[in-house]
Chains A and B, each alone.
Chain A
Amino acid sequence: MRQLPLTQMEEGRSGIVVEIMGGIGALRRLELLGVRVGRKITKISGMFMRGPVTVQVDHTQVGIGFGMASKVIVEVKE
């Protein structure tokens, strides 16, 4: 098991959200879209040059800006 920010996760990998750093505002907005601690998310894509990350949570896809995505810490299996 290792923990890493969503931005560094590989495309196609899944992991469990273990921490969302940053302010309560961003935290709440992410939660409301399904990205919250304890949930399994799958990274669909990450745009190059610090572009947004797209993840799949259950049956929704969510586009997350790079800065915010770098604050979402995910635990993945080795």
Chain B
Amino acid sequence: MRKILLMGNPNVGKSVVFSRLTGVYVIVSNYPGTTVEFRKGHMKLGKEQVEIIDVPGAYTLEPTCKAEEVAVEMLKETRPGDIVINIVDATNLERNLYLTLELMERETPVIVALNLWDETKHKGITIDVPGLERWLKVPVVPTVAVTGEGIKELVDRFPEARTPKIRKHTRLERWEDIGKIVKEVQTLVHHHHTFLERLQDLSVKPASGLPIAALVIYLAFKTIRFIGEGLIGYVCEPIFEFFTPFLMKLSVLLGSSGFLHDILIGKLIDGEIDFVQSFGLLTTGLFVPFGMVLPYIISFYLILSVLEDFGYLPRLAVLVDNIMHHMGLHGYAIIPTLLGLGCGVPGIMATRILESWRERFIAATLIAIALPCAALQAMIIGILGKYGSGPIATVYGTLFAVWFLLGLILNRFVSGFSPELLIEIPPYRLPPLRTLLKKVWMRVLGFLRDAVPIVLLGVLIVNILYILGVFDSIAAFTAPVITGLLGLPKEAIVAVLVGFLRKDVAVGMLVPLNLTVKQLIVGCVVLSMFFPCIATYIVLIKEVGWKGMLAATGIMILATILVGSLLNLLL
């Protein structure tokens, strides 16, 4: 099958073009490095089926980072008949043409899409498209991928893709050529600064940027909580209450106890179904994912997506660069960190935007140990919320302290170097509501598809193991640590073990133990820090290797027991 490669600088909209061509949705954001691995899809060209590949963004074919290495590899693998669509940010013609010129020196035929064409108008940029075509000797098509403008013409002109096969130039020669081309085809007229542009500048100046950042983070947390609680109180709980009588009938039908009853309904608490404690497949198994976690998944990803698509995150990266340096990272590590607050899997994957192994190891280890995922946070808020905001603040405060201190320690002891921040900061953009909702929906769908079956499986396994009495012997074995050091009842080990599967289910299992507030706090912190769920673990191994994973695991065990014991002593 013929291949069509989408190549271009980071954050020019390659993934949007990919979605347009293939109909396959991929997550897109307004910051460089959203796509860290390539994706494949298909489209029909006449009667022919072709493969479309969304290549990670690259500024050059002489790689300066991992994403660029991937891009170069993919270009090398092309065969006769394959073509490259070079997607160019029309508002940054000069810088983007460097990659274009490099592509012209290669064998694979090229066609250029001048994307973000609509933005050139507001910015006072005029580009002479036929003129640019004459210079480059390949087709040039203006496009606005988000609206679909120009995509059809682009596809129609695929057969015209050509290999100019110019001789290999030096770096300086390329920049010289680019200077000439840009001078000839681009005219700039002065335009007045828009409100968004003024806001852009204010967001990175320390005097205004730091208050703005504090406000943004505060509002983000408040809104996430507000929407999450709202969905739980007004939508989820009423739905479950509506179904309670039916479940009670089923419970009676099953004889109120026995094997099948315990698996489906669970234990009755004072003769009633308790959605958190009963622990049957149809009660807790459904209530945890749909009644407690899903509302927070929706609200978290809604807010994260707004921040991503608006373009705020790279600016936050500039503001926190200083602090992150003390942790062996630079500011851009804030992006994997924030993604990790949603789920460890995309969080750790996103550490690929960092340049060195050392940075990736530190960032991934911190995500695995100190960052609770959204599902876990939802449960923490769910079970600690009724004791006021103090206990929740203690859990968050402890985890934040662990994150920061562990970063300081890792920075001292992990060898290697951490490069400096150097990032392109995209303009603020108002994301179309449809794009935004689609992104939230895809992430929610991911949760429903990947997490819910595992929650149910977890509940099932726990019930079966309980009935078989397996946990008693394990509990006796681990009691010295769990009870002696952490001050939790020895049965809490079951929650720790279930944490391998799903953290949300694990926190839910603390409830039937009738813990004190202090024990709940210790339990939540220990469950957050100790072993991320299996999905996160696999990604961790993939990204930092076995050696890195073993080191991270050692640190994790030590840190968890230390912090848990300290909390037990101090609270």
On A, residues with C-beta under 8 Å from B are 11, 25-26, 28-34, 36, 44-52, 54, 58-68
Contacts and interface: CB of A to CB of B under 8 A. Distances in A.
Contact of B424 (A28, A46, A60): A60
A28 B422 contact: no
Contact of A64 (B94, B123, B206, B422): B422
A63 B206 contact: no
Interface string B418-429: 001111110100
A32 B95 contact: yes
Given A28-B60, A60-B95, A48 B318 contact: no
Question: Chain A's interface: helix, strand, loop or mixed, by majority?
Answer: mixed
Nearest to B207: A45
Interface stretch (B37-45, B127-135, B197-205, B442-450): B197-205
Given A52-B421, A63-B425, A58 B94 contact: yes
A47 B424 CA distance: 17
B64 interface: yes
Given A44-B205, A61-B200, A63-B331, A50 B424 contact: no
B330 A65 contact: yes
A21 to B, nearest CB: 14
Contact of B321 (A31, A47, A62): A47
Contact of B204 (A28, A29, A33, A54): A54
A11 B209 CA distance: 14
A72 B91 CA distance: 24
What are the 6 A-B residue pairs with the smallest beta carbon separation, nearest first?
A65-B420, A32-B59, A61-B425, A65-B421, A45-B205, A63-B318
Contacts of A45: 201, 204-206, 209
Contact of B175 (A36, A49, A51, A68): A36
A63 B317 contact: yes
Interface in B58-86: 59-60, 62, 64
Contacts of B175: 31, 36
Contacts of A59: 91-92, 123, 125, 427
A33 B421 CA distance: 13
Contact of B59 (A33, A46, A51, A52): A33
A65 B125 CA distance: 29
Interface residues of B, number: 34
Contacts of A54: 204, 318, 425
Contacts of A66: 420
A50 B321 CA distance: 10
Given A52-B321, A63-B318, 18 more contacts: A28-B64, A31-B171, A32-B64, A32-B98, A36-B175, A45-B209, A51-B318, A52-B322, A59-B125, A60-B424, A62-B422, A62-B424, A63-B317, A63-B425, A64-B420, A65-B321, A65-B420, A68-B422
Most chain A CB within 10 A, of B64, B95, B206, B330, is at: B95
Contact of A29 (B171, B200, B319, B422): B422
Nearest to B209: A45
A60 B206 contact: no
A11 B64 CA distance: 29
Contacts of A26: 422
Given A31-B175, A51-B206, A63 B64 contact: no
Contacts of B200: 61
Nearest to A62: B424
Contacts of B420: 64-68
B422 A65 contact: yes
B173 to A, nearest CB: 13
A52 to B, nearest CB: 5
Contacts of B95: 32-34, 58, 60
Interface in B307-349: 314, 317-319, 321-322, 330-331
Given A58-B92, A58-B94, A63-B331, A30 B422 contact: yes
A52 B95 CA distance: 21
A50 B420 CA distance: 12
A47 B319 contact: yes
A44 B123 contact: no
Nearest to A68: B420
A28 B171 contact: yes
A45 B425 CA distance: 13
Contacts of A28: 60, 62, 64, 171
